[in-house]
Every structure is written in structure tokens, then in C-alpha cells.
Structure 1
Amino acid sequence: MRLRLKAVLAGLGKSQSDLAREIGYSPATVAQLVNHGFWPKSLPQNEMKDRIRRALRAWAADEAVLDTIFEEWPEPRGNAARACPLTEAQKEDEQMLLQNESLTPEAREHFGLPRSPFVDDINCLEDVFVSSATRRQRAALMDCALNQGFMALVGESGSGKSTLREELEERIRKENRPVIIITPYVAEAEKGDRAGIYKPRQIAEAILNTLAPGDSIKQGAQARSRQVHEALRASRQAGLNNLLVIEEAHKLPKVTLRALKSYMELKDGLRRLLGVVLIGQTELDRLLSATAPDVREIVQRCERRVMPPLDDDLPAYLQHKFNRIGVQADQVFADGVYDAIRARLVAIPRGGSAADKFSVCHPLVVNNLVVRAINAAAAVAMPRVTADVIAGC
């Protein structure tokens, strides 16, 4: 059970370590209280409460808020998974672990938000935020669809890869592009059977089920390959382009990568019959390493694109999100907040130095951080989210 005190500290821009020093208790004792509601049995509870209230008054906390700081604060809803599992930078008292968290009704009312700008937020093309960086990825995806290309779209979890894929499908539909998208389903692997995910046969079945849904699939590998070739040729002769899109491609076994090369070499005369887009997390970059001799031929043919962090596009991104719900971002954020978010989302790998730092300022991570900050600011009745609130979340 978390206490509301946690959000109040964030709203004041103070850490749990700051509180521990101010009231004269150990950081571990304060962490147990703030994060889990565990009062130390060996210490007088009333005395500890009085010390905490005095500390908060010294930090200019609102008196009305002091009456609520020891109440339960709702836990994050849904899966409380890390938004950015690669983040290992440590704050003073804990690792930077950003959890999915819902905007509270109190926060929505306090800031006049009709709904969350980050939940069910993409329902049409106009809802998709387009930056100068993602514009290049979008163009590459469409080029791959129209010209039977081969590319890999690589990015951290929550960086917007799937959104670009969904937007590609929507643009193809709205612009009446002559493209058929083939999407294999991720098959669950048996225990210990890594090759159970995206086996070559499953790729062939996906192609045939999309292009020739009424046909029975041949059992032999040679007959099935010929059947795939004929289906792709018939689709091409009908004036259509065929695009195979594989999500979670970092799970591809190498035997399937080698099979993809055979499919991509299928032609009708001089014209290729199939384009391929691989979409996956950063492990996909390692899978497609040019130093791996068993997949070198296919790697050399693959154009790799990496999803960049928002960074310079962060203000425009948040303004876009809030504009889509009819709210000006400046009503919610004080000066300096965008710089504070960027600074908060810089990570250093475990064992690394400052020279190894990297940005994790990706959409999902930003969304989670901003929601936590809005909840924290509302909990202490602040008129706007400040840089100190961001630093405390």
C-alpha cells in the first residue's frame, strides 16, 4: 500500500532521502513507510507523523494536504511493468523505474482534462504525432510497401514502432494504395523450443492464407514453396504489391531469416514479388549483425532504421497530445518542464560512465512520467506541473 505522501513529496520536488535526512530516520525506514505503508514497530508512530508534517511545512506544503498524506494512494492500474526495461540510471534513493499509471479523477478535475491524452489516443491519422525523424521512417515504410523493399525497424519498447506500422496500414487504406499486407501471428513456442516462434512454415501459411484463403496448403516443402510463388505471382499480375510485416521480429530464429531470403528472391520476370518489414526491439539489431556468417547474405540486403527518442521534438509531441483533447499544454506545464523531462530521461548503462549516457525519451516513457507528475501536482494542489515535480517523479 503506497501512501499519498509519495505523491506529495514528488509534488514538492523532494526525494525520500531528503525526507529521511530532515526527520532523522534511516532511508530504508522512510522507503518502507512511503512505498508500502509499513510503520516501524520500534518507533513511536505519532512522533514520526509529527516530524513528517513539520518537514513538509518547512517545504511549504499546503496545510490542507497535510491531513491526507497518510491515506492510501491508489496503486497503478493494469500491468505495472517497467515502461523502459533498459533504463538503469539510479536516482539518489532508487532506480529510475517508470511504471504504467492511470490519471486520477482528482488530477483530471484539477487540471480540467476531459480525458487522459495518452489512453485510446490514436483513432485516426490526425492523432498520430509526426516528427522530422519519424517522417523519414514513415517514408521508408511506404517505399518498402510499393517497391518490394526489405527493411528492419528497430526501437525500444514504447518507442512508437507499432504505431508507425498501424499508420502505414491506415494510409494504404485511405489512399487506395495497391498493397496487400501480410501479417503472421506470433505462435507460442513450446517450453525450450525457441524455434517455435515464426517457423518458416508459419510464414508460408500466412502468405497463402492472405493471398489464397480458400486453397488447401501443400504439405511438402517444395510443393508449398511453389504454391507461395504462384500466389505471389497471381497477386502481382492483378496489379498488387505484397508486403510481409513481422512484428516481434527480434524473436525470429535464424532458420526463418534464411527462409525469408528465398521468398524475397521470388520474381515475376525482373519484378520482385514480396517486400518485407521486420519490426522489433533492440535485440533485432544484434540478430541482424553483419558479423554473423549464417545470416550475412540476408543482413547485407536489409535496410535498418532505428526509432529515435523524442528529445528536441518533445515539446511538439506533448502539445500535440494535449491539443487532441482540447487542452493547451501550457495550462498544465510550467516553464522548464520540457527540459526537466529530457534531463530525467537520460540513462547510464550499469557499469558505464557519463560518456555512455543515452536518452530514453520515447513516447511510452514520456507518457508514464507525465501522468505521474500530473497526479503528484494535483495531490498538492499546484496550479501547474513544474520542473521540480518532474524531478521528484
Structure 2
Amino acid sequence: MCAFKQLLETHSIHQTWIAKKMNFSPATINKIVKYGDYPKKNADAIKQQMIDLLVGEGLNETEILTAMDAVQLNSDRDQTLEIECTAAPTDEEQLMLLRKQTLTPAAKKQFMLFKNIFTDGIKSANELFQNSDINYVRESMWQAAKGNTSFIAVIGQSGSGKTTLREELHDRVSRDREPVVIIEPYVLATEDNDIKGKTLKSVHIAEAILAALAPSTKAMRSPEARFRQIHNLLKESSRAGHHHLLIIEEAHSLPIPTLKHLKRFLELKNGFTPLLSIILIGQDELKIKLAENNQEVREVVQRCEIVTLEPFTQSSLVDYLQHRCKSFDRKLSEFIDESGIDAICAKLTRNVGRNNQHESLLYPLAVGNLLTGALNVAAELGESVITGDLVKEV
């Protein structure tokens, strides 16, 4: 804890009280106390005003100045280290993701949140937020499950909700009692080459199909016999009225040969009836692998529809947060005001490059982490709701 903050706590003086007396926002006072960061205009006068205020509360002026100087010294040293260790930021610098945030006990108590409604996973289909963009991806996955489309790639940034939609697809198949057999090869420790991890090969996909359709059946030893075996099993299952859906998570880690082999799985048919649909789920690297100019996977590119999970807009962000609050019988206004929403959008969105290319991280996970951090700051300063100034402090 910094010397100045410790001095205030020793004398039971709250930063919110100082803010009200000096007519500044709590965030501004917090910057002064923690980092010695005074407003550029009239910094010396503000510093003297704070000293006079604290002296009036019985603090020793020498003690106050010593604590202020210690904060300033630490802040200057940190800035020097930062300049030495990092290059100066440029207009091309990427938006930074916030590290995982957890609610502090103070925040849980102040906002009556014993479950983090902004970051915890959903427990039922009713908690799933839906808008036009999400519904498009959701319906594309559903049509693949029913066999109306054959091959799609769902692409989105980390924390955009890809896994949630996969889980909801499982739940929907079960709820609607659709005759769909979902096949999911395990992708633990998979990488796109055998140096970094283990690659997922066609033979592993065949083993996953066999395990889903006939778990007690022993796999044939030779690759030719094994693939003939799974083709026959798919035919028998199709005649029984089932459709088969292959879902591969972390598909950006698939090696190029396996991507090419997926076309051959698509070609497994019983007469004119396709036996298998495929959904690949991955991050932006998958989109690069499936680029039109990548000649190695041209046969796949021509058959695979790319479906992208888009970031929130400001209006859809408000709808999303209101939905999350409503799912737990709370109101968004209990946690954040309009200026706080604006600040979240500003912090997680920017235009970069000469063409002002739009870059946004307004995805559920990033928004939830930022909100959690802001709730912690609000509780620390004794603020009842998150404001724009508090979001900037995270």
C-alpha cells in the first residue's frame, strides 16, 4: 500500500470525503493518492488545497508532505522503468486484453453480488443473449446439425461466445429431440505441428466417429479397413434416421493436411444422401488458413462457409448487459451509469491505421472482465455505481 493511502487510512479519512470537499471526482483523488497524478491545470494549487484540508483534520503538514513525496518518487521510478522496458506506443498498437478479474469481497458486499453475473457461464438456454448477429451464427450451426448445410467454420475472438453457442447447440438438440449424433474429437494438447503439441489427424477423426456410433466395436487395424468400417456405420445410422455432425473445437490448430482431408469426410454418402456435416470452431487464425489465396486448401475453401461472431455495438452492448442483469432479477442501473457504458466502448474500441480500420474487443469475456475491475474500483472508492471516470481507472 502506498504511503499516502496508508496515512489517510490511519486517520480514518476516506477518499470520497476528500473528493466532495475539494469538488473533484473520486477517480481524480484516487490518482493523486495512489500515483501523485495531479490534474495538469493548477496542480500546485490543488496540492496545497489538499494539504490545507488534511491539516484542518489534525494531520501534521510534514507528515503529509513526506507521504506525498514518497508517492511521487515511486511513480517517477515506475515511469522510468516503463520507458526503458517498452517501446513508445504507436497508432498501430493493438488493443490490450485485460487479465482475468475477480470480484473483491468489498465489491461483492457493496453490490450484493455473490455470483459474478457478468463473467460466469450460463446455466440454461434462457440465459443465452440473442441478437441478429448471434442468431445468424446460432441458426447456421443448427442448419448444419440438421444436415441442411454441410460445412461451416465459426470464427471469433477469444471470449466472443463460440463455446457457449456449441454448448447451446448440444442443449437444443436434446431439447428438440432431434435425431442428430454429435461427434467431437478430443482436442486437448492439439497443435498444428508435432513440435509444439500433437496434431489431430484423419485417423483420430475416424476413431471419434467409431466411438460415437459403435463404442463397443473394435476398430479395424489397417487404415483402409477402418475408413470402410466407419463409412458402413454411418450408412447404417443414416438408414435408422440419424444425421451426423462433426464438431472440431480449436480448429485454428488443425494442420493443413487434416483440413484438406475434411473434404473427403464430406464426400461420404449413401447414394445422394450426405452422411456427415462439419462445424469448425476457431479463432481468427482459422480464417487465415481458410483464405481464398491459400492454394493448399482450395478444395476446402470452396466448400466451407465462414460465419463470424461479430463484437457488440454500443446499443447491443447495453442490450447484452441488461439481459445479463435481468436473468438474475437485477437492473443494469444498479451497477453502471450511461457514462460508464460510453467509457467501456471507448476503452475496448479504437480506429487504427491510415484508413481508420475499426478494431473492437467488445466481446462478452472482455466486457465482463472490465466491468468486474470497475466494480472493484467503485467499491474501493465507496461509489454506488460505475462511472466513466472509474472505468478509466481499470
- Shorter-chain TM-score tier: 0.7 to 0.9
Residue 220 to residue 387, structure 1, CA distance change in 2 (3 Å): same
Matched with 2:380 is 379
* Cα separation, 2, equivalents of 1:377 and 1:357: 30
Match of 2:199 in 1: 197
SS in 1 for 2:217: coil
In structure 2, the CA distance between the partners of 1:195 and 1:300, relative to structure 1 (3 Å rule), is: farther
Deviation of the 1:330 alpha carbon = 0.6
- The alpha carbon displacement at 1:16 in A equals 6.0
* Cα RMSD (Å): 3.1
> CA, structure 1 residues 240+4, in 2 after alignment: closer, same or farther (shift >3 Å)?
farther
Q: Does the 8 A contact of 1:117 with 1:325 survive in 2? A: yes
1:126-160 deviations in Å (ceiling 9; x for gaps): 11111121011111000011125200000100000
Conserved? CA contact 1:332–1:384, under 8 Å: yes
User: More helix by proportion, 1 or 2?
Assistant: 2
- Aligned match of 2:38: 22
CA contact (8 A) 1:13 1:390 kept: no
Q: Could you list the runs of 5+ residues in structure 2 that have no partner in the other structure?
A: 6-14, 17-24, 41-61, 73-90
Per the TM alignment, residue 347 of structure 1 is displaced from its structure 2 partner at its CA by 4.0
Q: Bigger radius of gyration, 1 or 2?
A: 2
Q: Does 1:12 align with 2:13?
A: no
Cα distance in 2, alignment partners of residues 365 and 381 from structure 1 = 24
Cα distance between partner residues in 2 of 1:2 and 1:208: 62
Report Cα offsets for 1:18-70 as digits up to 9, x if no partner. 9445399xxxxxxxxxxxxxxxxxxx99745235899xxxxxxxxxxxxxxxx
Structure 1 residue 251 displacement after superposition: 0.5
Distance 1:266 1:372 in 2: 50
Letter in 2 for 1:214: S
C-alpha deviation, 1:288, in angstroms? 0.5
State the SS of the aligned residue for 2:330: coil
Equivalent residues in 2 for 1:83-98 (5 A)?
A: 89=93, 96-98=96-98
Alignment of structure 1 residues 1-393 onto 2, 5 Å: 12=27, 19-22=35-38, 47-50=65-68, 89=93, 96-147=96-147, 148-188=149-189, 192-193=194-195, 196-311=198-313, 312-347=315-350, 352-353=353-354, 355-393=356-394
Superposition TM-score, scaled by structure 2 size: 0.77
SS of the residue 2:181 aligns to: strand
Matched residue of 1:278: which SS? strand
Alignment match, 2:76: none
Q: Which residue of 2 aligns with 1:61?
A: none
Q: Which range moved further: 105-114 or 243-252? A: 105-114
The aligned length equals 334
The amino acid of 2:365's aligned partner reads L
Report the CA distance between 1:326 and its aligned residue: 2.1
- Once the 2 structures are TM-superposed, how far is the Cα of residue 188 of structure 1 from its aligned partner? 3.0
Unaligned runs of 5+ in 1: 25-43, 55-86
The structure with higher relative contact order (CA 8 Å, sep 6+) is 1
The alignment partner of 2:118 has SS state of coil
Q: What is the alpha-carbon distance in structure 1 between the residues aligned to residue 129 and residue 3 of structure 2?
A: 36
Residue type of the partner of 1:109? K
Secondary structure in structure 1 of the residue aligned to 2:280: strand
CA distance in 1, matches of 2:198, 2:380: 48
Q: For residues 278 and 4 of structure 1, do their structure 2 counterparts lie closer, same or farther at Cα, with a shift above 3 Å needed?
A: farther
Aligned partners of 1:2, 1:364: CA distance in 2, in Å? 31
SS for the counterpart of 2:225 is helix
